[in-house]
Amino acid sequence: MSTSISAVHYAIRPARPAAHLFELSLTVAEPDPAGQRFSLPAWIPGSYMIREFARNIVAIRAETAGRAVALEKLDKHTWRAARVPAGAALTLHYEVYAWDLSVRGAHLDRTHGFFNGTSVFLRVHGRDNAPCTVDIQPPAEPALADWRVITALPRARGKGAAKAHGFGLYHAADYDELIDHPVEMGRFTLASFEAGGVPHDFAITGRHDCDTARLTADLARICAWQVKLFGAPAPMDYYAFLATVVGDGYGGLEHRASTALLASRADLPYPGMQGTSEGYRQFLGLCSHEYFHTWNVKRIKPAAFVPYDLAVENHTRLLWAFEGFTSYYDDLALVRSGVIGTDDYLALLGKTASNVLRTPGRLRQSVAESSFDAWTKYYRQDENAPNAIVSYYAKGALIALAVDLQLRAASGGGKSLDDVMRLLWQRFGQTGLGVPEDGIEAAVEEVGGKALARWLHRAVNGTDDLLLARLLKPFGIVWKAEAAVAAPWLGAKLAGGNGEAKLASVFDGGPAQRAGLSAGDVLVALDGLKVSASGLDAMLARRRGGEHVDIHAFRRDELMRFEVELADAPADKVSLKTAARPSTAALRLRRGWLGG
């Protein structure tokens, strides 16, 4: 079946890469006779913060049959065109500034172009369900003639249709699909693999020395395991990883058949690399996390997101499950697919537990509250964030672990969180229905009973620490929490920067706060000796808990003196080890959980 130009048609061209400007046109064959409205989303699904993408539209005009049409701006991201004659098409021409090197926005220069649809494609009000076509056009500069395109957006058929990895016509069933397929264009390394019966592409933009054969072999195992977890067939017939590598970067954003990634080039595997480095494990975990979202978030989603309202915040108390459960399964997929070993997995799990313990805010905010306030707190953190919030990613992952362990232990390995995820997939992911606010607890109750559902309710809505040491014991896993350093504790976190000992955060109830030190203070001397960021730990290592030290610090331009009573470092470093002589039952449970 051929695809012709739709009644809603877009064209996008990297018109001025050096100026970071995409040029777009949008033609509506049958505009609203009362005056057609257009708007750009204020946020992008998966990143819960109002970002005001419309601020990057630097020029916009409307026309019909070559004649100008008045265009009125109604609010920060909405425009209305004047009426046009019956039967006449309306076309908008606009430019978008693209200089956001992240997974959320758009970026363009002479090395590459990248965009999310939410940053560039205006919504046509009243035509959300109309099919769309998009003409992705190449740059005009001859030096960029070898650019290619990578996207999971379906290619059109017929005249002008894009060829594989080429410029040309693409199509989407509706606006929601249109904006859920990021596009990368430029010179990228392309590697391919198959997993779960689905072809996958991995595109790498940026200088690198990646061993793509190893990367794709590892990802094939991880992706295949996830498809098997939920059950074939996979919900997409093609999947694309779009990775931009830089000197120092980390991030990912999920889409229905692709993910955009930002990574440090040093984290990629290189030819001849032995073992699995910490950076590579982290990168594989990021890929695994975004891939798991293909099911959990993109298709199993809160009722508050069905449909998305991209003009305002969409509040839900369930991000602890959608991001937290995904954060549990991302690393679990690595060990259960055999890409990493048990010891490596336990190290990753211990790191997650440590990160939660080092956040005083976990004792103030529940993960349900953290989820609801993601828009104003988690995504807009300030110097007091460690004291005020808990990560629904990290603690949500630990809650998922606790539910999984309890299900497995109570059933002798017969039931697990996998059963809960498959139930959610069948009931919500495959039907398109949104998960109600009590839907996760209801699914856990159906699989594990009322007592476990009550436990989950308390864990999600309370602030108590999870008793994971007790839950891990039946699996032959030993939990140990100790101080990260032998030196006494100042109770503050230093900011990265130019080497000065500047306080980024001061922890509630810690020595620094009790002495009156505040975030932003720059430490200059301890007991009369100069302090630097790199030397502070060594100076503290020569003291003991309970000892008093004299600290001079600048607050703004004022020099102040503080007497600080140091404390012993808290036991917030968690290590997990397999027991030396586990029972047969413990081995059976552990193998069912981690494989091997």
Write out the two tokens for 91. 């076309």
Question: 89: domain CATH number?
Answer: 2.60.40.3650
First to last CA, the chain: 48
> Can you tell me the distance from the alpha carbon of 46 to that of 308, in angstroms, rounded to the nearest whole number?
11
Domain around 16:
8-185
- Domain-embedded: residue 72: yes
- Domain-embedded: residue 333: yes
* DSSP H or E segment with residue 406: helix 394-411
What's the confidence (pLDDT) of residue 486? 85
Write out the two tokens for 122. 């205006």
- Is 345 found in the same domain as 233? no
Predicted confidence (pLDDT) per residue in 368-419, tens digit: 999 999 999 999 999 999 999 999 999 999 999 999 999 999 999 999 999 9
- Domain-embedded: residue 479: no
- Is 167 found in the same domain as 39? yes
- Domain-embedded: residue 480: no
Number of domains in the chain: 4
**DSSP-derived secondary structure letter, 401:** H
Mean pLDDT of 225-244: 98
- Is 136 found in the same domain as 268? no
Residues 137 and 167: beta-carbon distance below 8 Å: yes
> Can you tell me the distance from the alpha carbon of 32 to that of 10, in angstroms, rounded to the nearest whole number?
17
Q: Is the peptide bond before 360 cis (omega within 30 degrees of 0)?
A: no
**pLDDT confidence bin for 1, thresholds 50/70/90:** very low
**pLDDT confidence bin for 5, thresholds 50/70/90:** confident
What's the confidence (pLDDT) of residue 464? 97
- Is 229 found in the same domain as 115? no
Backbone angles phi, psi at 324, to 5 degrees: -65, -45
CA-wise closest residue to 442 among 423, 459, 425, 458: 423
Mean pLDDT of 311-334: 98
Q: What's the chain's average pLDDT?
A: 97
Mean pLDDT of 274-295: 97
Predicted confidence (pLDDT) per residue in 503-546, tens digit: 999 999 999 999 999 999 999 999 999 999 999 999 999 999 99
What's the confidence (pLDDT) of residue 125? 98
**pLDDT confidence bin for 3, thresholds 50/70/90:** low
Predicted confidence (pLDDT) per residue in 13-46, tens digit: 999 999 999 999 999 999 999 999 999 999 999 9
Residues 191 and 217: beta-carbon distance below 8 Å: no
- Domain-embedded: residue 20: yes
Write out the two tokens for 351. 């790191």
Mean pLDDT of 309-317: 98
Mean pLDDT of 332-349: 97
Predicted confidence (pLDDT) per residue in 245-267, tens digit: 999 999 999 999 999 999 999 99
Mean pLDDT of 335-363: 97
- Is 545 found in the same domain as 588? no
What's the confidence (pLDDT) of residue 485? 86
Question: 561: domain CATH number?
Answer: 2.30.42.10
**pLDDT confidence bin for 347, thresholds 50/70/90:** very high
> Can you tell me the distance from the alpha carbon of 589 to that of 524, in angstroms, rounded to the nearest whole number?
54
Q: Return the number of other C-beta atoms located less than 10 Å from residue 253's C-beta.
A: 21
Task: Indicate the residue among 185, 203, 219 that finishes a domain.
Answer: 185
Query: What are the C-alpha distances in Å from 217 to residues 193, 196, 222, 260, 360?
Result: 8, 13, 9, 20, 40
User: What is the reported pTM?
Assistant: 0.96
- Domain-embedded: residue 288: no
- Domain-embedded: residue 589: yes
CA-wise closest residue to 549 among 154, 195, 353, 541: 541
Question: 258: domain CATH number?
Answer: 3.30.2010
Using a 10 angstrom Cβ sphere, with 0-12 exposed, 13-18 middle and 19 or more buried, the burial of residue 74 is exposed
448-453 long-range CB contacts below 8 Å, 24 or more apart?
448/403, 448/406, 448/407, 448/410, 448/415, 448/420, 449/410, 452/403, 452/406, 452/407, 452/410
Residue recorded with tokens 């006494």: 488
Mean pLDDT of 190-219: 98
